[in-house]
């Protein structure tokens, strides 16, 4: 220790000498490009990082080893030397038939993980024939109105052999029940199926705004699925705690991480309050982060994320099972960093973002296609995006050693600074009474709106350069060809199917199942006692539609209106 | 003797998507340009938007849509304004709108489409120069 | 005058246009207001005030629903602050009132303060009159809610509802300062939160300390506006207060007070403006100021001199 201190002292002196004798004269001759340098999130970056920046750094405490707490260097002992990350590309549009074809194609190409994108009516819990669904059916994803659609979606796909990720939030429990009902029909037992529900409702209130019910019943639904999963589906991830959308809404990297972790804490606390031991569900929680342009900030973010989560789970929640301490994460390159101008440049952006995710140690990755600012990707554009990951995996050599950036004075300093700022936010949220209360008061929402406006102003002032948008602008641009979707045709088909379904099913049975669900939903303080999931399953098996089931909840719980935060 | 006339703009999000980053940025930019901005929140039907625009007597309506449903929603709003004799209200839009849709939208009466990456000052200048002249 | 006829016929566009003219202080507005004045005085006007985050917009929304259920037409004026730096404003109270946006029996108008203090926009009173002339039976006026003393609403409203929520801490002090006196009804909103009863007790204590009012003891009502709880009771309370005003002839008295205030305000504003216009036009104004600055005369005599010249 004393040796270290002596060493640091020597370095500091040498740095001073370097500044006076070498740097200052050089700056006199040609000054730096800017007075200060900042990350895309506005975090200040110093000129040079040396061991002096890491004076009280403790290798075993701060870094440790891969697969060991605090997991700074990665969650698995051999990381990508053992298994590469999962290249999981999000897909889905149009009718269940079309998406089923797409899934079969992807599986034939060797992909083992499916990722379902639902259309907006489904995400909001409306059937395709609801007036609010006009113009939206099948547009941003696949339309699923009932079990009948889910059966078509997974027709001919053996569900014990694939893992399925479903990007769905407010109606997550209902879509999950539909998936489970398909498994039942295929004769696959619950404990054999694996997959992930996004099911992260807090970030909907904060960022993506696909909420339906007020906070309290929304949280109840999430806890319900966690409890049901813990009892019956040991291989399923019931919640994917997501920072992705928080970042897309305009947050900084630090806000993204802090609010995501705070959301995770809220789920952990609510589930523990419902009576479940932390180690009975924490290993099944997974995460989903954004990867933006600022290369080192993103790497630091992933490293800090693992450290913060491990400390929280061990120290605050008393988790004993080391698997409960792990922050395993999916990542997606930043949609908001893509530009409509000179769209081929997006391939380069995505490559760099993807590289940051890998150097940050993620477990799974979606790379955006170059045309995604304007529409869902074409097949060609999606293929380039997948190839980008394959090139990083197989040609660059960055997977040969674990955490290749570990020990960099800069990366370690930045990781630590990000972590410190995250703790500051977490303390602030504690002071507000926890994340649910903070969201109710609009705290994270306001922070994000402010950050996004600040960023916009720096872009417009030219302080932040966006190539092709505010610098290096092209005079005339050749448009790229885009995927066209005709919602009217899809809607017609879906509406016809709903009408046929309602004419052909046992409507008495549907009514009975919905009545049972209503009573359970209206029940007082039922958290963790009488679960909603089995009743949702009953309604789904009777071919109640998504809109009917969500309608029961809408009536029982009301709908959320957000506070005006601008 | 009239005081300085305030420009009033309705910033609206038709359709089901909840991506309100753009709408909120433009609302703030309009406020900072001295406009009075009426913000009605998410998931507005064309009927709700037009009703609010008329009661608030706005000079312009700015629509933000990222779900891809603009080809139905935007023209429907212009149509409803016409039906209610309020087609002097300038309607413009933004969001994920491919170039090839712009001509069709303009034919339908949408005055301007701002594509991703447009500076807020462009939209501000547009509103200042294109709204109807009146007291 | 055409616009008057259209307003009598409840033409939404005409009503909305006239409100803009009024806000912009356009000459046509004064002409129209003169004609409309004789048919105003019919509506019942309810002011809703309270600190930020107390849920005024949701309460307004729910009250509207309740009055609509009772068959009454409703006008809503929601005031938000103008930015002192840019002169712009974001008016977002409608977000919480969207369930009424397609109801022809409800007219919602957002107003910016445009620099006016006291919780309302300067033209609020005139806009209330437009809604009144357009036949709205109940008019709800929601004040800015930025936490300053928003007591001006008392000059406009027949019944003042003061809203607070549990756990605001220091904001209860804000109620003490000034707002207490204007409350005809207290609402403790978000009453499902911890501390609601404590807030009720605090208000009771404060009322006990204030000047005693024998004729009407403001009730303290608990609501959870987001869930519609306590709204029927609040509407009843408002109607009870109206009945009380009518019984005692107090409504006419309040209207007379309002007329007085409006008349004096206009007189003050226009009288001053005309005097200043005349003095600036012939150059007297600047000369007088110069003379005051150089101590040639004093400001007191200078004012007397100016008024004397105007024959006052």
Q: How many CB atoms lie within 10 A of CB A440?
A: 18
State yes or no: pLDDT of A526 exceeds 60: no
State yes or no: pLDDT of B133 exceeds 90: no
Alpha-helix residue ranges (DSSP H) falling in A409-544: 409-431, 435-440, 443-460, 487-504, 507-522, 533-541
Distance CA A116, CA A164 (A): 7
Q: Which of C32, C62, C40 is nearest to C189 (CA)?
A: C62
pLDDT digits (tens, 9 = 90+) for C143-158: 987 666 677 888 889 9
Cβ-nearest to C90 among A441, A562, A566: A566
Segment A146-160 shows an average pLDDT of: 97
Confidence of residue C215 (pLDDT cuts 50, 70, 90): confident
Q: In chain A, which residues have their Cβ closer than 8 Å to the Cβ of B43?
A: 124, 132
- Mutation site for B-interface testing, chosen from C88, C103, C106 by largest number of B Cβ within 10 Å: C88
Instruction: Give me A431's structure tokens.
Output: 């002071």
pLDDT at res. A1: 44
pLDDT at res. A378: 87
Confidence of residue A61 (pLDDT cuts 50, 70, 90): very high
**Does the beta carbon of B25 lie under 8 angstroms from any beta carbon of chain A?**
yes
Q: What is the average pLDDT score of chain A?
A: 94
State yes or no: pLDDT of C202 exceeds 90: no
pLDDT at res. A528: 60
CA B84, B87, B91, B96 dihedral sign is positive
pLDDT digits (tens, 9 = 90+) for A273-321: 999 999 999 999 999 999 999 999 999 999 999 999 999 999 999 999 9
State yes or no: pLDDT of A420 exceeds 80: yes
Instruction: Give me C25's structure tokens.
Output: 């202080």
Residues of chain A above pLDDT 70, percent = 98
pLDDT at res. B2: 41
pLDDT at res. A447: 97
Confidence of residue C212 (pLDDT cuts 50, 70, 90): low
Cβ-nearest to C226 among A214, A441, A566: A214
* Least-confidence region, from A326-330, B18-22, C206-210, C273-277: C206-210
Q: Which of A533, A257, A247 is nearest to A418 (CA)?
A: A257
Helix (H) or strand (E) holding A347: helix A345-359
pLDDT digits (tens, 9 = 90+) for A428-480: 999 999 999 999 989 999 999 999 999 999 999 999 999 999 999 988 777 77
Cβ-nearest to A561 among C53, C90, C95: C95
Q: Which chains touch B (3 or more CB pairs under 8 A)?
A: A, C
Cβ-nearest to B56 among C83, C109, C114: C109
Distance CA C228, CA C70 (A): 15
State yes or no: pLDDT of C179 exceeds 90: no
Residue of chain C nearest A556, judged by CA positions:
C227
Confidence of residue A152 (pLDDT cuts 50, 70, 90): very high
Q: In chain A, which residues have their Cβ closer than 8 Å to the Cβ of B39?
A: 564, 566
Write out the DSSP string of A273-298: HTT--GGGTGGG-EEEEEE-S-HHHH
Of residues C68 and C8, the one with the higher pLDDT is: C68
Cβ-nearest to B116 among A121, A140, A373: A373
Confidence of residue A546 (pLDDT cuts 50, 70, 90): very high
Q: What is the average pLDDT score of chain C?
A: 89
Query: Which residue's entry shows tokens 């009718």?
Result: A95
pLDDT at res. A527: 61
**C-alpha distances out from residue A245 to A172, A334, A429, A562, B21, Å:** 17, 9, 19, 17, 11
Segment C22-43 shows an average pLDDT of: 92
Distance CA C189, CA B126 (A): 43
Segment A255-266 shows an average pLDDT of: 98
Segment C189-201 shows an average pLDDT of: 91
Tell me whether residues C24 and B85 touch, CB distance under 8 A: no
**Does the beta carbon of C107 lie under 8 angstroms from any beta carbon of chain B?**
yes
**Does the beta carbon of B17 lie under 8 angstroms from any beta carbon of chain A?**
yes
pLDDT digits (tens, 9 = 90+) for A473-524: 988 777 778 887 777 889 999 999 999 999 999 999 999 999 999 999 998 6
Q: In chain C, which residues have their Cβ closer than 8 Å to the Cβ of B8?
A: 20
Kindly report the pTM of this predicted structure. Answer: 0.91
Domains of chain B: 8-130 (3.40.50.280)
Cβ-nearest to A558 among C53, C98, C227: C227
pLDDT at res. A477: 78
Q: In chain A, which residues have their Cβ closer than 8 Å to the Cβ of C226?
A: 214, 558, 561
State yes or no: pLDDT of C287 exceeds 70: yes
Helix (H) or strand (E) holding C61: helix C56-69
pLDDT digits (tens, 9 = 90+) for C226-278: 889 999 999 999 999 999 999 988 888 888 888 888 899 889 988 999 999 98
Residue of chain C nearest A440, judged by CA positions:
C53
pLDDT digits (tens, 9 = 90+) for B30-88: 999 999 999 999 999 999 999 999 999 999 999 999 888 899 999 999 999 999 999 99
In three-state form (DSSP H/G/I as H, E/B as E, the rest C), the secondary structure along A84-153 is CCEECCCECCECHHHHHHHHHHHHHCCCCEEEEEECHHHHCCCCCCCHHHCCCCCCCCECCCCHHHHHHH
Tell me whether residues B100 and A566 touch, CB distance under 8 A: no
pLDDT at res. A563: 83
Segment C92-99 shows an average pLDDT of: 93
State yes or no: pLDDT of A222 exceeds 80: yes
pLDDT at res. A89: 77
Confidence of residue C211 (pLDDT cuts 50, 70, 90): low
Q: In chain A, which residues have their Cβ closer than 8 Å to the Cβ of C90?
A: 564, 566
pLDDT at res. A111: 76
Distance CA C223, CA A304 (A): 44
What are the percentages of helix, strand and coil residues in chain B, rounded to 5?
A: 40, 20, 40
Tell me whether residues B28 and C86 touch, CB distance under 8 A: no
Distance CA C75, CA A341 (A): 47
Tell me whether residues A135 and B98 touch, CB distance under 8 A: no
Interface size between A and B, measured as CB pairs under 8 A: 102
Segment A369-395 shows an average pLDDT of: 91
**Partners of C15 in the beta sheet?**
none
Distance CA A45, CA A193 (A): 46
Tell me whether residues B17 and A140 touch, CB distance under 8 A: yes
Tell me whether residues A340 and B29 touch, CB distance under 8 A: no
Distance CA A171, CA A210 (A): 10
Segment A55-60 shows an average pLDDT of: 92
**Does the beta carbon of C24 lie under 8 angstroms from any beta carbon of chain B?**
yes
* Least-confidence region, from A61-75, B1-15, B106-120, C53-67: B1-15
ipTM over 0.90: yes
**Does the beta carbon of B68 lie under 8 angstroms from any beta carbon of chain A?**
yes
Residues from A contacting B (CB-CB < 8 Å) are 120-121, 123-124, 126, 131-136, 139-140, 204, 208-211, 248-250, 336, 339-341, 373-376, 449, 452-453, 456, 460, 466, 469-470, 479, 482, 485, 487, 561-562, 564, 566
Q: In chain B, which residues have their Cβ closer than 8 Å to the Cβ of C9?
A: none
A199 near A168, Cβ under 8 Å?
A: yes
Cβ-nearest to B18 among A210, A470, A561: A210
State yes or no: pLDDT of B134 exceeds 70: no
pLDDT at res. A411: 98
pLDDT at res. A300: 98
């Amino acid at each position: 220790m004393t040796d270290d201190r002596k060493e640091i002292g020597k370095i500091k002196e040498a740095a001073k000498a370097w500044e006076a004798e070498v740097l200052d004269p050089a700056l006199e001759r040609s000054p730096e490009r800017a007075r200060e340098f900042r990350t895309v999130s506005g975090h200040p970056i110093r000129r040079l990082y040396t061991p002096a920046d890491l004076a009280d750094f403790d290798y075993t405490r701060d870094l440790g080893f891969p697969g060991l707490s605090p997991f700074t260097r990665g969650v698995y002992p051999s990381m990508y030397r053992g298994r590469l990350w999962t290249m999981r590309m999000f897909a889905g549009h149009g009718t269940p038939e079309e998406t089923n074809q797409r899934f079969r194609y992807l599986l034939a190409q060797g992909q083992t993980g499916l990722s379902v994108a639902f259309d907006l009516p489904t995400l909001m819990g409306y059937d395709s024939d609801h007036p609010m669904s006009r113009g939206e059916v099948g547009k941003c994803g696949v339309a699923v109105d009932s079990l009948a659609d889910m059966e078509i979606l997974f027709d001919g796909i053996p569900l014990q052999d694939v893992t399925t990720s479903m990007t769905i939030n407010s109606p997550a429990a209902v879509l999950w029940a539909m998936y489970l009902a398909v498994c039942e029909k295929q004769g696959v037992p619950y404990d054999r199926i694996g997959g992930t529900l996004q099911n992260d409702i807090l970030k909907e209130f904060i960022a993506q705004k696909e909420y339906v019910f007020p906070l309290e019943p929304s949280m109840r639904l999430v806890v319900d699925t966690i409890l049901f999963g813990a009892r019956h589906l040991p291989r399923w991830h019931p919640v994917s705690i997501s920072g992705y959308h928080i970042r897309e809404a305009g947050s900084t990297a630090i806000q993204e991480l802090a609010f995501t972790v705070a959301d995770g804490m809220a789920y952990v606390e609510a589930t523990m309050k419902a009576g479940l031991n932390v180690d009975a569900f924490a290993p099944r929680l997974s995460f989903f982060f954004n990867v933006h342009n600022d290369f080192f900030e993103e790497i630091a973010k992933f490293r800090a994320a693992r450290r913060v989560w491990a400390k929280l789970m061990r120290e605050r929640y008393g988790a004993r099972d080391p698997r409960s301490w792990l922050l395993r994460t999916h990542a997606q390159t930043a949609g908001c960093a893509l530009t409509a101008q000179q769209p081929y440049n997006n391939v380069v952006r995505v490559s760099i973002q993807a590289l940051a995710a890998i150097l940050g140690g993620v477990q799974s990755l979606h790379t955006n296609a170059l045309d995604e600012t304007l529409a869902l990707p074409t097949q060609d554009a999606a293929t380039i995006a997948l190839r980008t990951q394959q090139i990083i995996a197989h040609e660059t050599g960055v997977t040969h050693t674990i955490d290749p950036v570990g020990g960099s004075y800069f990366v370690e300093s930045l990781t630590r600074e990000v972590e410190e700022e995250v703790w500051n936010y977490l303390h602030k949220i504690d002071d507000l009474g926890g994340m649910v209360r903070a969201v109710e008061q609009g705290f994270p929402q306001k922070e994000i709106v402010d950050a996004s406006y600040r960023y916009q102003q720096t872009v417009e002032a030219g302080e932040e350069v966006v190539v092709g948008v505010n610098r290096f602008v092209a005079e005339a641009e050749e448009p790229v060809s885009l995927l066209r979707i005709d919602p009217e045709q899809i809607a017609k088909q879906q509406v016809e199917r709903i009408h046929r379904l309602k004419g052909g099913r046992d409507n008495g049975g549907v009514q009975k199942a919905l009545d049972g669900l209503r009573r359970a939903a209206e029940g007082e303080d039922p958290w963790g006692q009488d679960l909603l999931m089995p009743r949702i399953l009953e309604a789904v098996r009777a071919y109640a539609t998504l809109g009917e089931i969500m309608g029961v909840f809408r009536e029982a719980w009301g709908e959320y209106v957000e506070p005006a935060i601008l | 003797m009239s005081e300085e006339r305030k420009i009033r703009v309705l910033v609206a999000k038709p359709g089901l998507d909840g991506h309100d980053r753009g709408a909120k940025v433009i609302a703030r930019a309009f406020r900072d340009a001295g406009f009075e901005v009426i913000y009605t929140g998410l998931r507005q039907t064309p009927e709700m938007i037009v009703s609010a625009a008329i009661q608030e007597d706005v000079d312009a309506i700015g629509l933000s849509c990222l779900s891809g449903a603009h080809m139905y929603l935007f023209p429907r709003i212009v149509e409803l304004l016409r039906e209610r004799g309020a087609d002097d209200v300038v309607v413009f839009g933004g969001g994920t709108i491919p170039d090839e849709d712009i001509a069709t939208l303009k034919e339908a009466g949408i005055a301007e489409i701002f594509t991703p990456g447009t500076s807020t000052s462009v939209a501000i200048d547009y509103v200042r120069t294109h709204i109807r002249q009146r007291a | 005058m055409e616009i008057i006829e259209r307003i009598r016929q409840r033409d939404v566009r005409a009503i909305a246009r006239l409100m803009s003219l009024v806000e912009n202080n356009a000459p046509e507005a004064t002409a129209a207001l003169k004609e409309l004045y004789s048919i105003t005085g019919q509506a019942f006007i309810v002011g809703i005030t309270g600190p930020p985050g107390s849920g005024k917009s949701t309460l307004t929304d729910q009250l509207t629903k309740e009055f609509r259920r009772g068959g009454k037409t409703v006008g809503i004026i929601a005031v938000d602050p103008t930015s002192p730096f840019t002169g712009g404003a974001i008016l977002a109270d409608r977000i919480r009132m969207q369930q009424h946006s397609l109801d022809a029996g409800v007219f919602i108008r957002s107003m910016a303060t445009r620099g006016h203090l006291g919780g309302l926009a300067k033209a609020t009173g005139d806009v209330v009159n437009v809604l009144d002339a357009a036949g709205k039976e109940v008019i709800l006026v929601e004040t800015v809610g930025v936490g300053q003393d928003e007591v001006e609403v008392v000059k406009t409203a027949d019944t003042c509802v003061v809203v607070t929520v549990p756990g605001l801490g220091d904001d209860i002090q804000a109620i003490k300062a000034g707002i207490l006196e204007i409350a005809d009804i207290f609402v403790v909103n978000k009453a499902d939160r911890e501390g609601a009863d404590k807030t009720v007790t605090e208000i009771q204590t404060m009322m006990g300390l204030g000047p005693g009012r024998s004729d009407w003891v403001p009730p303290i009502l608990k609501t959870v506006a987001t869930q519609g709880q306590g709204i029927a009771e609040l509407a009843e309370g408002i109607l009870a207060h109206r009945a009380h005003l009518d019984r005692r002839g107090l409504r006419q008295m309040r209207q007379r007070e309002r007329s007085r205030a409006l008349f004096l305000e206009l007189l003050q504003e226009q009288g001053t403006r005309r005097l200043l216009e005349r003095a600036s036009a012939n150059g007297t104004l600047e000369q007088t100021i110069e003379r005051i600055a150089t101590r040639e005369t004093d400001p007191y005599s200078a004012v007397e001199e100016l008024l004397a010249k105007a024959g006052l």
